[in-house]
Structure 1
Amino acid sequence: MSTDYSELTGDYTIDTSHSRMGFVARHAMVAKVRGNFDEFAGSVHVDGAKPENSTAQVSIQAKSIDTRNSQRDDHLRSNDFLDMDNHPEITFASTAVAPAGDDHFTVTGDLTIRGATKSVDIDFEYAGRAVDPYGNVRLGFEGKVVLNRKDFGVSWNAVLEGGGVMVSEKVTLEIEVSAIKNPA
């Protein structure tokens, strides 16, 4: 039996203090480095009767990258990676939403990183609805997508002595959203 999403219809604002825009990349072929973007904003329109009419958009400040290592973060902000001086924002704007099973959706959209825009399919799971102690209606979504960073012009790397490279081409974006329904 599928979930009835009709009560979810409305416009929502992403609650950045309870959401995460993160990523994972392999470092030196042996370890995973995780990071976040600490400054972002976004909105979601949910059409519960016709989920395919739902939309989402997000804007991330590239300078807000945080991997818990300031030297690495500075390198990631540089022209070698995000080139934040010339491309201060990473953006996503949905172009389609398709149900993909109970509580799962594929959100297709235009992702722009470092000035390069590519269409990506992000798999999302609807995590639920809650009313918080302040009377706010909240929706939760979790999603992820694996990207090739070279598709976005992020191509810096270093060859390792024993073979392999310093930074993997594949990066997993991890998205955890708590969105608050806007007043009618």
Structure 2
Amino acid sequence: MPVASSRLLAAAAIAASLAVTGCTVTRPTGAASDIPASSASAIDAQVEASLARLYDTVAGSRALVAGSQGVLVFPSVVGGSLGVGAEYGRGALRTGGRTQAYYSTTAGSVGFQAGAQSKAVFYVFTSREALDKFRQSRGWTVGADATVALARYGANGVVDTATFRQPVVAFVMTNVGLEAGASLQGAKVTEIRP
């Protein structure tokens, strides 16, 4: 199969799978989810709702975020795939409880997979150095520009204190709760102006 045909086929498969995501998207409930996601105020409202859900779901997450230098929240990272997958989402970086900038995230994957899903992704910057490096980058990629540790939990269901010592800690939530064993490797984050 010629290269152009295989690329066209892959693009069509991704577009078709993304078209079915409407029934599986993780969105906060309430008026904020009715605002177009392209506006800054809509992103801020969705970030706030996603943080509230994280705090209600994961014991110890509020203390981790409160003690951090900043948190980057993507309320709805939508992915679709049919052999080749793609993900996209918009979010905001917050420091001191206030939005500092807006970002998009993209990722791709190859392998046997089918369907569509949505998840909320939280990157918690526990060190000033990690946050400064992120803010100074022109495009930040998980695994290449920074090592991101998925939050670990103790037997009591609370965030493990060893997690607090990692420079960047991530939480991934789906409709059913926290996703264990999620991989964010290769996710690219870029600043945007909504």
Same fold (TM over 0.5): no
TM-score (normalised: structure 2):
0.33
Q: Greater helix share, 1 or 2?
A: 2
Larger radius of gyration: 1
